[in-house]
Structure 1
Amino acid sequence: MSYVDTYYRPGAAGDVQRPALTGRSDADVCIVGGGLSGLTAALELARRGRSVCVLEAERIAWGASGRNGGFVGPGYAAGYRHIERLAGPDDAKALHRLSIEGARAVADTVQTLAIPDADLMPGILATVRREAADELRAHRDWLEREFGYRVEFKDRAQVRDLLISPRYHQALFDPNAFHFHPLNYARALGREIERLGGRIFEGSAVLDIAIDQPAKAVRTSHGEVRAGDVVIASGGYTGGLLPSLQRSYLPIATYVMLTKPAKDLIATAIRTRFAIGDDRRAGDYYRLVDGGERILWGGKITTRTTEPRRLGRLLHQTMVSTYPQLKDLPVDIVWSGLMSYARHLMPQIGRYRPGVWYCTAFGGHGLNTTAIGGRLIAEAITGETDRYRLFAPFGLVWNGGFAGRIAAQLTYWSYQAMDLYRERRSA
């Protein structure tokens, strides 16, 4: 088993690194962070005729944007009832509709830009490891009644035709959700931004931002961008650029493993190209890649970066506990990425002050919410809509500092314990 400190990168040989920023540049909008939220905002603005400049400290999608499991579907890391308590019933519905819009926006972009190496595959199966047939049917009916969004209930026999595991009971199948290669998607966004005249600089960490003037100055070690608007979209890597923003999120490390190729062995366990996740609060997610030759398996989070090989072994143990027949399937590669979570578990999308915007904290459901976040910020800058205000109840809440990190890790461990208890009761 090997660890890569970048990500799974098929075809990376043709991925030429962009130059670093040098000297003085001017733009309508400067975007700090070349992850999916920053790239989406840049693309939406470039399509509207704005000049954009993206500054990325490493490579585009270098963090969790390019290292995640590739699941795209509606929803947020926060549960719907929690959102409803903070935002009210009407805005909670509007927010969920935005998440549906975000997932569809990603699919539309894959189609519009014709990204074959995104390897888009339809269908996500949300499984449960306990008896929950009535609960799942009720949720299916609620989604169709409130949002016109159709998912399918799968009983135990149907699930076990697809997943040869003693762990699973029932599932909801979402035919509108999909999974894909997020890094190749991000690369395509970058190419389209540049085709439209936008500029992307890699290896260009932002050192400070002067925001107390109409023309904001964003400085790197060798250059400066002057822009009327600045968007902070650097997620878990934001650091101290805006102290109030840094204090409002928790950087959370997530881990993913890729198995060795073993198509025939894998087929004894997983008989579908649908992506699979479970409803556990400390759950796993996985899917077949490379035409079914390998399994990409994600899960486990920590509040500090842990030695990924050790997490890889734990992920392998989880896979084997789910599919005992895969005990001899070795791990090939393990990698990690840094997400950002707010304490309220919702994205932070808003205006810091005139001309300064933030678009971050997308941990948990980042592939739909980065898309909608980037779109909403672009709409706000161009004056088209103020839909970003729907996220006002989920602002820059203090993360609790060091104690907040400890609390987050303890909460995750408690979720694992509760998940195990629920499963044993249903066994």
Structure 2
Amino acid sequence: MAYPDNYYARTLTECKTRPQLQGEGQCDVAIVGGGLAGLTTALQLARAGLHVVVLEAQLVGFGASGRNGGFVTPGFATGGENIAARVGQEAARGLHRLSIEGVEFVRDTIEALAISPAAPRAGLLSVLRYDDGDALKAYADQMARDHGYELQYLCREDVRAVLKSARYHQGLRDPNAFHIHPLNYLRCLADEIERLGGKIHESSEVVQCDLSGPKKILRTGQGTLAAPHVVLATGGYTGPVFAQLYRAVLPIATYVMVSEAAPRLIAQAIATTDAVGDNRRAGDYYRLVENGNRLLWGGRITTRAASAGALARELRREMVGTYPQLASLKTELAWSGLMSYARHLMPQIGELQPGVWYCTAFGGHGLNTTAIAGKIVAEGILGVSDRYRQFAPFGLTWAGGAAGLAAAQLTYWKLQAQDWWRERRAAAGDKVTA
């Protein structure tokens, strides 16, 4: 078994494989899922001296955890207004503070473990594809007022000085956010868990479970694992073995491509090392990699896995539409990964029943939210805090099955149409101004 042939797999600093679970085993906490959420939980528990065992159906970081854009930035998949409408302003502010803490957890972990292969680089630039600088200024003021979190406003001229595109208007730069090589980060977490005495078994899909007794039982094809605590962190690859979680998430595919090495050509379009994302519901996100030699570009979502090649052509059209000067830039690699979404677009974090914890549905905003989720679930297991209860209003709501997937795709197309109309009006306004 090997990783998908993508940029992150090809640039791994180590390719250690881990054995299958064999025979009967016991531990203090069994964690299902070797992605960001599962490994962060395992790391925190191992640091506290508990014996943890991680069961991963494929390889560490095989899913969206190891195949994402690498952005580490505060927030959730849904906006603050939607969160406040459900839980109130004060609780919404508390949740946002947790998301900021998640960013700092990733940063602190990289520093503490000297994870240089993660190649962290500061800066995230969020840009508008229509003219609304007043709204951005108001948001920046709100973040400073509510959280002491400073964002830098960029007018249209400032944005277009670094992003040579007529598509963009104003932007906000977050100097505290950063971007990383997610798979190298994840693999280093796995190494640290093992150094602390934890075990990680790859190619060990859970095919049957009994979570009813004081000792929970997980069965794979080759072995059995018993533990008083189980953490389910399976994300977009959750299967019907864990029925309640399976019904509560929608697996959504997202797509990424990486260009050929062409630093001079790329520099004609993008003159910043910040990661960049636009304001559409499923907008483009991109960043320079390999010290500016290549461009990593992601976007699009589908409710069914599509050909990576076909989606790469769509991503290329979007890239060239944004930067016509990159029309000759060739795509070298393209891949996809499954994310998990809940209907409420918030992470699902909590205790399903005594000793059974869940940590999933990070909805394309996972590097910070998986970090804080793993931290607070570990705190709950250790009995040192109940901060995980802040996510109780966002429970395991039925996602709708096949009808839910169809509704999600229709909603995406509707939002795309709204984005198109809004940008068309902005372009017409630009022509009138000119």
TM-score for both structures, normalised by structure 2: 0.97
Q: Does 1:396 align with 2:396?
A: yes
Task: Indicate if the aligned counterparts of 1:282 and 1:419 stay in contact, CA closer than 8 A.
Answer: no
Distance 1:6 1:35 in 2: 17
Corresponding residue SS for 2:143:
helix
Which residue pairs with 1:284 in the alignment? Answer: 284
1:132-156 deviations in Å (ceiling 9; x for gaps)? 1111001000000001000100011
Which residue pairs with 1:340 in the alignment? Answer: 340
Task: Indicate if the aligned counterparts of 1:6 and 1:62 stay in contact, CA closer than 8 A.
Answer: no
1:83-122 deviations in Å (ceiling 9; x for gaps)? 0111112111100000000011001101111011101000
Q: Does 1:165 align with 2:165?
A: yes
Tell me which stretches of 4 or more aligned residues in structure 1 moved more than 2 Å. Answer: 3-8, 10-14
1:6 Cα deviation after fit: 5.7
Distance 1:11 1:280 in 2: 30
Task: Indicate if the aligned counterparts of 2:41 and 2:378 stay in contact, CA closer than 8 A.
Answer: yes
1:239 Cα deviation after fit: 0.5
Task: Indicate if the aligned counterparts of 2:103 and 2:371 stay in contact, CA closer than 8 A.
Answer: yes
Distance 2:248 2:13 in 1: 38
Matched AA of 1:130:
Y
Task: Indicate if the aligned counterparts of 2:6 and 2:333 stay in contact, CA closer than 8 A.
Answer: no
Corresponding residue SS for 1:231:
strand
Matched AA of 1:167:
R
1:12 Cα deviation after fit: 3.9
Q: Does 1:26 align with 2:14?
A: no
1:374 Cα deviation after fit: 0.4
Matched AA of 1:136:
L
Distance 1:11 1:322 in 2: 27
1:332 Cα deviation after fit: 0.3
Distance 1:96 1:415 in 2: 24
Matched AA of 1:68:
N
Matched AA of 2:396:
L
Q: Where in structure 2 are the equivalents of 1:292-311 lying within 5 Å?
A: 292-311=292-311
Distance 1:416 1:181 in 2: 29
**CA 1:229–1:20: 2 relative to 1, 3 Å:** same
Task: Indicate if the aligned counterparts of 1:54 and 1:201 stay in contact, CA closer than 8 A.
Answer: yes
Which residue pairs with 2:351 in the alignment? Answer: 351
1:39-92 deviations in Å (ceiling 9; x for gaps)? 000000001111100000000010000000000100000111110111112111
Which residue pairs with 2:140 in the alignment? Answer: 140
Distance 1:121 1:138 in 2: 27
Matched AA of 2:81:
R
Which residue pairs with 2:100 in the alignment? Answer: 100
Matched AA of 2:395:
G
1:257 Cα deviation after fit: 0.3
Which residue pairs with 2:382 in the alignment? Answer: 382
Matched AA of 2:351:
R
**Number of residue-to-residue matches in the alignment:** 425
Which residue pairs with 1:252 in the alignment? Answer: 252
Task: Indicate if the aligned counterparts of 1:129 and 1:169 stay in contact, CA closer than 8 A.
Answer: yes
1:245 Cα deviation after fit: 1.0
Distance 2:14 2:88 in 1: 48
Corresponding residue SS for 1:291:
coil
Matched AA of 2:269:
A
Corresponding residue SS for 1:8:
helix
Q: Does 1:270 align with 2:262?
A: no
Distance 2:357 2:75 in 1: 23
Which residue pairs with 2:430 in the alignment? Answer: none
Q: Where in structure 2 are the equivalents of 1:12-161 lying within 5 Å?
A: 12=12, 14-161=14-161
Which residue pairs with 1:373 in the alignment? Answer: 373
Q: Work out the percentage of aligned pairs sharing the same amino acid.
A: 57
Distance 2:100 2:13 in 1: 35
1:230-274 deviations in Å (ceiling 9; x for gaps)? 000011111012211111010001100000110000000000100
Corresponding residue SS for 1:92:
helix
Distance 1:384 1:13 in 2: 35
TM-score for both structures, normalised by structure 1: 0.98
Corresponding residue SS for 2:256:
strand
**CA 1:196–1:89: 2 relative to 1, 3 Å:** same
Corresponding residue SS for 1:240:
coil
Distance 2:75 2:384 in 1: 24
Distance 2:379 2:209 in 1: 23
Distance 1:300 1:224 in 2: 39
Which residue pairs with 1:314 in the alignment? Answer: 314
Q: Does 1:194 align with 2:179?
A: no
Corresponding residue SS for 2:177:
strand
1:312-371 deviations in Å (ceiling 9; x for gaps)? 000000000000000000100000001100000000001110000000001121000000
1:204-253 deviations in Å (ceiling 9; x for gaps)? 00111111111111110111111010000011111012211111010001
Which residue pairs with 1:410 in the alignment? Answer: 410
1:361-398 deviations in Å (ceiling 9; x for gaps)? 01121000000010111000000000000001100001
Which residue pairs with 2:216 in the alignment? Answer: 216
Distance 2:236 2:164 in 1: 37
Matched AA of 2:57:
A
Which residue pairs with 2:432 in the alignment? Answer: none
Distance 1:243 1:388 in 2: 22
1:8 Cα deviation after fit: 2.6
Matched AA of 1:234:
T
Corresponding residue SS for 2:207:
strand
Distance 2:142 2:165 in 1: 29
Distance 2:9 2:121 in 1: 18
Distance 1:295 1:12 in 2: 18
Which residue pairs with 2:326 in the alignment? Answer: 326
Task: Indicate if the aligned counterparts of 2:252 and 2:304 stay in contact, CA closer than 8 A.
Answer: yes
Matched AA of 1:49:
G
**CA 1:42–1:76: 2 relative to 1, 3 Å:** same
Corresponding residue SS for 1:397:
coil
1:4-25 deviations in Å (ceiling 9; x for gaps)? 4566323447312101000111
Task: Indicate if the aligned counterparts of 2:13 and 2:184 stay in contact, CA closer than 8 A.
Answer: no
5+ long unaligned stretches in structure 2: 428-434
